[in-house]
C-alpha cells in the first residue's frame, strides 16, 4: 500500500486548541472504560431542571433493543439553546443570515431568537399543538426554519423537518407516517435566483384529504408570491403570532422524550422516521460541536448544510446554539451568483470554521483557484467535511485553496441515526491523512466485521459497526421498533450496524469506503434505490426498473437506471426525458436519474431477485469483474446489457 501523506498539527492550532493528543487519549480512554462516570460528568454541559442520576441503560440484544440515557433527567432543548445565554449574551448574534442574493442579510441576537421562538411557540399552542404532538416543517433556509424547530422543542412538540427539495408525494408520506397535526411552510423558497413553490407543494400534498391528520398549515410570507388559500387550514405566520406574547414557559421534558423525527432512506421500503430524544442528543451534539470545531467563544462558525438534513439539525441548530455560538445561516448555494460565493461569505463574516460537503468542494475544484480569487480568507482556522467520503484530490484542493495550506480539515463521519459526529480528527490532537476520517470521538467504539459476523483485528477492511451505545443514538424508527431492530441490530447481533464499509490502517485510522447496502449517496444526499425504483414503476409506461449508483466526478455517485418499458412503448429520448421529469415530480429533483439504459430484461436469480451487484458493475464499466454469474436465470441478459451500456 502506498504511504499516505500526513499533515501534522499546525503550531497556531496547538496554541489555542481545547484538546491536545494527550487530553484526547485520556478522555477517550475514560469514556470507554467508565462510560457512566464520563457521561455523568459531561452532562454538566447542559442545564437540567432535574439533573440525571441514572446515566446509561442500553441493550443491543437479539430481538430486544432498548436505549436510554439520563433517563431520570429533565430539561428543555429550547431553554438550553436560548434562555441560558440571555444573562450574559443576550446581545450576541446567534444567526448571521445571508440571503440567496448577495447583499440581503440579517443578524439575529439571542434575545431576538428568544422573542421569535416564544411567539411562535404560543402561536402553535393556539392551534392546539400539545406536548408530544408532531409538527412537520417544510421551509427554506431562513431563520424562521430554526425558530420553528425551537418553538416545537419549547412546547414539547416533536418536529419532523421535511427537506425543501422534496415533492408533494414525499411530503404526504412523511406527514402521514408521523400523523403530523400542523405543517409550517412559506409561500416560496429561493435558491440560486430561482423560486421554489413550497406552499403549492404543500397544497398538492394535502389535496383531496390526502393528509387527514393535518389541521393547519402555518405559512410564512417570504417572497410575497401569490398562493392559493384554504381558510379552513391555512394561517399566515404573522397573523398567528400577532397577538402572542414573547414569553413562553419551556415545557419540562424527560431526557428520553422525543425531540424530533427525521426521515431517511434505507436499503428497502419507504424512508424511516428516525427518532431522536432530548437529553442524550443535546449533550452529544453540544459536545461534538465544541471539540470537533475546537470552538472558541468569539468564533464565527458556518455550516453550509440545509436544516432538512441531520447536519442542519445537529450542527446548525442544536450544537452551535447550546454552545452560544454565532453562526452564518446561508440561504443560497456555493456557486451562485458565481463560484466565489463561499469565499466572499467567509470574508464578509470573518468566518473561523467552515463545514461543508465534498460534493460542493468538487464542484468548486472544477474551477481551479478561481473560487478563492481576490477574497480574504485569513479568518479561517479550521475546515470540516461531511456527508460522503472525501477523495484525496478534493481534500488537497480544500486544504490548499480555501484553507491556504494553514487550516486543518476535520473529515467527520456520521449518520442521521447516530445524531452526531462519530469518527473525526480533532484539530489539536490528530495528525491528518487526506481521505481518512481518522479516529473515534469520545464514547464511540467502532469495529470491523466480515460477512460471517467475525470481528476483524488490526489493519483490515470490513463492515463498520459500533459496539456500544452513545448518547445521541437514534432510539427507534417512528411507529416501527421492529424495523429499527431489523435494520440496525440483526445483521450482527449485539452491535449497531452502520451500513458502511471501512478500512482501518496501521495507525488505527478509519477510512470510510461507502455504503455496503442499496443506499445511494448522491451529492451527499442519501437516497434509497427502492424509493427511486418505486417512483419509476409507478409510471404507466414502465414495466420494471432497477436503480444503482455509479461513480460520478462531482456528485460522488450518480443515479443509473435500467428500465424495461411496457410492451408496445417506444423507448427513446423523449421517454427518457419524460421519466426523468416524472421522478423529479414524484420524489425530488435530487433523485433525478443521470442515466437511463433501456433493457429488455434484468439479470435475475432463478428465484426472481434482481442481481444488483452485476448491474452496479455494468454501470461502473467494470464488466470484466462481474464475479459469479452462475446463479442467473438467463445469462444472455447480461451480455446484452454490457453491449448497450452507457458508460463506454
Ligand atoms: C456517508 C450525514 C464518508 C456514509 C451526516 C453514511 C460519509 C451516510 C461521511 C449518512 C464521511 C457521511 N466520510 N462517508 N465523512 N459522512 N458519510 O444519514 O455513507 O445523510 O452512512 O448523514 O453518509 O448519511 P446521512
Task: Indicate the DSSP class of residue 369.
Answer: T
Q: Which residue, among 259, 262, 274, has the nearest Cα to 476 in the 3D structure?
A: 274
Closest Cα to atom 25 of ligand 1: 415
Q: Mean pLDDT, to the nearest integer, of 495-513?
A: 97
Ligand 1 in reach of 163 Cβ (< 6 A): no
**pLDDT tens-digit profile of 546-604?**
999 999 999 999 999 999 999 999 999 999 999 999 999 999 999 999 999 999 999 99
**Is 335 annotated in some ligand binding site?**
yes
Q: Per DSSP, what are the bridge partners of residue 449?
A: 455, 463
> What pLDDT, on the 0 to 100 scale, is given for residue 164?
96
Q: Which atom of ligand 1 is nearest to the CA of 412?
A: 15
Mean per-residue pLDDT for 247-271? 94
Mean pLDDT of the chain: 96
Q: CA 238 to CA 81: how far, in whole Å?
A: 23
Q: H-helix or E-strand containing 459? A: none
Residues in the chain: 648
Distance of alpha carbon 369 from the chain centroid? 28
Kindly report the protein residue whose alpha carbon is nearest to atom 24 of ligand 1: 415
Ligand 1 center from residue 383 Cα (angstroms): 17
**What mean pLDDT do residues 620-640 have?**
87
pLDDT confidence of residue 609: 87
Regarding the beta carbon of 386 and ligand 1, being less than 6 Å apart is answered yes
Given pLDDT bands bounded at 50, 70 and 90, which one contains residue 3?
low
Q: What percent of the chain has pLDDT over 70?
A: 99
Round to whole Å and give the CA distance between 287 and 56: 17
pLDDT for 648 equals 59
Give residue 497 CA to ligand 1 midpoint distance, Å: 14
Ligand 1 mutation target, pool 312, 414, 496, most atoms within 8 A of CB:
414
Do 190 and 159 touch, CB atoms closer than 8 A? no
Nearest to 433 by CA among 4, 9, 14: 4
> Per residue in 166-192, pLDDT tens?
999 999 999 999 999 999 999 999 999
Residue 620, judged by CB atoms within 10 A of its CB (0-12, 13-18, 19+), counts as middle
Distance CA 534, CA 528 (A): 10
Report the run of H or E that residue 162 belongs to, with start and end.
Answer: none
- pLDDT tens digits for 510-561? 999 999 999 999 999 999 999 999 999 999 999 999 999 999 999 999 999 9
Sign of CA dihedral 338, 339, 344, 345: positive
Average pLDDT on 615-624 reads 92
User: Does the annotation list 412 as a binding residue?
Assistant: yes
- pLDDT attached to residue 633: 86
Task: Give the residue-averaged pLDDT of 216-238.
Answer: 98
* Res 2: pLDDT: 54
Whether residue 500 is annotated as binding a ligand: the answer is: yes
- The DSSP result for 94-139, as a single string, is EEEEE-SSTT-EEEEEHHHHHHHHHHHHHHHHHTT--TT-EEEEE-
In the DSSP assignment, the letter for residue 413 is: B
Is the pLDDT at 647 greater than 90, yes or no?
no
Task: Give the pLDDT score at 195.
Answer: 96
User: Is 476 flagged in the annotation as binding?
Assistant: no
Least confident of 50-64, 117-131, 244-258, 277-291: 50-64
Predicted complex: ipTM over 0.95: yes
Residue 309 Cβ contacting ligand 1 at under 6 Å: yes
Q: Is residue 437 marked as binding?
A: no
439 is in an annotated binding site: no
Q: Which of 163, 388, 510 to mutate to test the pocket of ligand 1 (most atoms within 8 A of CB)?
A: 388
Confidence of residue 281 (pLDDT cuts 50, 70, 90): very high
Query: What cell does 539 get?
Result: 409510471
Q: Which residue is closest in CA terms to ligand 1's atom 14?
A: 388
Cα angle at 229 between 588 and 199, to 5 degrees? 20
Task: Calculate how far, in angstroms, residue 496's C-alpha sits from the geometric centre of ligand 1.
Answer: 15
Query: Each residue of 419-429: pLDDT tens digit?
Result: 999 999 999 99
381-382-387 Cα angle (round to 5): 160
Please check if 313 is assigned to a binding site.
no
What is the phi/psi pair of residue 234, to 5°? -80, 140
Quick: pLDDT tens for 145-168.
999 999 999 999 999 999 999 999
Helices (H), 179-232: 198-206
- State the pLDDT confidence band at 267, using cuts at 50, 70 and 90: confident
Query: pTM to 2 decimals?
Result: 0.96
192 is in an annotated binding site: yes
Ligand 1 within 6 A of CB of 500: yes
Round to whole Å and give the CA distance between 294 and 546.
44
pLDDT for the residue 53: 98
What is the pLDDT, as a whole number, of residue 127? 98
pLDDT band at 380 (very low <50, low <70, confident <90, very high): very high
267 C-beta closer than 6 A to ligand 1: no
**172/211 Cα distance (integer angstroms):** 6
- Measured between its terminal Cα atoms, the distance across the chain in Å is 29
Indicate which residue's Cα is closest to atom 13 of ligand 1: 389
CA distances from 343 to 19, 187, 525 (A): 28, 30, 23
* C-beta of 491 in contact with ligand 1 (< 6 A): no
Helix (H) / strand (E) containing 460: strand 460-466
Q: 413 CB less than 6 Å from ligand 1?
A: yes
pLDDT of residue 63: 78
Residue-level pLDDT at 426: 98
Angle at 580 between CA 574 and CA 585, to 5 degrees: 125
Amino acid at each position: 500500500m502506498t504511504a499516505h501523506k500526513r499533515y501534522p498539527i499546525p503550531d497556531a492550532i496547538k496554541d489555542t486548541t481545547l484538546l491536545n493528543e494527550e487530553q484526547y487519549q485520556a478522555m477517550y480512554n475514560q469514556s470507554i472504560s467508565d462510560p457512566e462516570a464520563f457521561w455523568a460528568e459531561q452532562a454538566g454541559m447542559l442545564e437540567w431542571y432535574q439533573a440525571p442520576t441514572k446515566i446509561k441503560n442500553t441493550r443491543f440484544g437479539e430481538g430486544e433493543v432498548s436505549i436510554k440515557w439520563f433517563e431520570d433527567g429533565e430539561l428543555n432543548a429550547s431553554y438550553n439553546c436560548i434562555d441560558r445565554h440571555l444573562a450574559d449574551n443576550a446581545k450576541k448574534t446567534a444567526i448571521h443570515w445571508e440571503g440567496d442574493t448577495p447583499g440581503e442579510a440579517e443578524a439575529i441576537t439571542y434575545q431576538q431568537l428568544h422573542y421569535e421562538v416564544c411567539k411562535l411557540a404560543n402561536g402553535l399552542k393556539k392551534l392546539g399543538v400539545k406536548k408530544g404532538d408532531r409538527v412537520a416543517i417544510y421551509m427554506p433556509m431562513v431563520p424562521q426554519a430554526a425558530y420553528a424547530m425551537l418553538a416545537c422543542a419549547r412546547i414539547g412538540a416533536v418536529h419532523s423537518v421535511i427537506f425543501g427539495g422534496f415533492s408533494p408525494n414525499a411530503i404526504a408520506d412523511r406527514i402521514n407516517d408521523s400523523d403530523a397535526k400542523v405543517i409550517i411552510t412559506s409561500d416560496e423558497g429561493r435558491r440560486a435566483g430561482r423560486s421554489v413553490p413550497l406552499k403549492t407543494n404543500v397544497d398538492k400534498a394535502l389535496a383531496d384529504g390526502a393528509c387527514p391528520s393535518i389541521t393547519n398549515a402555518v405559512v410564512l410570507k417570504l417572497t410575497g408570491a401569490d398562493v392559493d388559500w384554504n381558510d379552513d387550514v391555512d394561517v399566515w405566520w404573522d397573523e398567528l403570532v400577532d397577538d402572542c406574547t414573547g414569553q413562553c414557559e419551556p415545557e419540562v421534558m424527560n431526557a428520553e422524550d422525543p425531540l424530533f423525527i427525521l426521515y431517511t432512506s434505507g436499503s428497502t421500503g419507504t424512508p424511516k422516521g428516525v427518532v431522536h430524544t432530548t437529553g442524550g442528543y443535546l449533550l452529544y451534539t453540544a459536545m461534538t460541536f465544541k471539540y470537533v470545531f475546537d470552538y472558541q467563544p468569539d468564533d464565527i462558525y458556518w455550516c453550509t448544510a440545509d436544516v432538512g438534513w441531520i447536519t442542519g439539525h445537529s450542527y446548525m441548530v442544536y450544537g452551535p446554539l447550546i454552545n452560544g455560538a454565532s453562526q452564518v445561516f446561508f440561504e443560497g448555494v456555493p456557486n451562485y451568483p458565481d463560484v466565489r460565493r463561499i469565499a466572499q461569505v467567509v470574508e464578509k463574516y470573518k468566518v473561523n470554521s467552515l463545514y461543508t460537503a465534498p460534493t460542493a468542494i468538487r464542484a468548486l475544484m472544477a474551477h481551479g483557484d478561481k473560487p478563492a480569487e481576490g477574497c480574504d480568507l485569513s479568518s479561517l482556522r479550521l475546515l470540516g467535511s461531511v456527508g460522503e467520503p472525501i477523495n484525496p484530490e478534493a481534500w488537497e484542493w480544500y486544504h490548499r485553496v480555501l484553507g491556504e495550506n494553514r487550516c486543518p480539515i476535520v473529515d467527520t463521519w456520521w449518520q442521521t441515526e447516530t445524531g452526531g459526529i462519530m469518527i473525526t480528527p480533532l484539530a489539536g490532537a490528530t495528525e491528518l491523512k487526506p481521505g481518512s476520517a481518522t479516529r473515534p470521538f469520545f464514547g464511540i467504539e467502532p469495529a470491523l466485521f466480515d460477512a460471517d459476523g467475525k470481528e476483524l483485528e488490526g489493519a483490515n477492511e470490513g463492515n463498520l459497526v459500533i459496539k456500544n451505545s452513545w448518547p445521541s443514538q437514534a432510539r427507534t424508527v417512528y411507529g416501527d421498533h421492529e424495523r429499527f431492530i431489523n435494520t440496525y441490530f440483526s445483521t450482527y447481533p449485539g452491535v449497531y450496524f452502520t451500513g458502511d464499509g471501512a478500512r482501518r490502517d496501521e495507525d488505527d485510522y478509519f477510512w470510510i469506503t461507502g455504503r455496503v447496502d442499496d443506499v445511494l449517496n448522491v451529492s451527499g444526499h442519501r437516497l434509497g434505490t427502492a424509493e427511486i425504483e418505486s417512483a419509476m414503476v409507478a409510471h404507466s409506461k414502465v414495466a420494471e426498473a432497477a436503480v444503482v449508483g455509479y461513480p460520478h466526478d462531482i456528485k460522488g455517485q450518480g443515479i443509473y437506471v435500467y428500465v424495461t418499458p411496457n410492451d408496445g412503448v417506444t423507448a427513446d429520448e423523449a421517454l427518457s426525458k419524460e421519466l426523468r421529469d416524472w421522478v423529479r415530480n414524484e420524489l425530488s429533483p435530487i433523485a433525478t436519474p443521470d442515466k437511463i439504459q433501456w433493457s429488455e430484461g434484468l439479470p435475475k436469480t432463478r428465484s426472481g431477485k434482481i442481481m444488483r451487484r452485476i448491474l452496479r458493475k455494468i454501470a461502473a464499466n467494470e464488466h470484466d469483474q462481474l464475479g459469479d454469474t452462475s446463479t442467473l436465470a438467463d445469462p444472455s441478459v447480461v451480455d446484452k446489457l454490457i453491449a448497450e451500456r452507457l458508460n463506454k
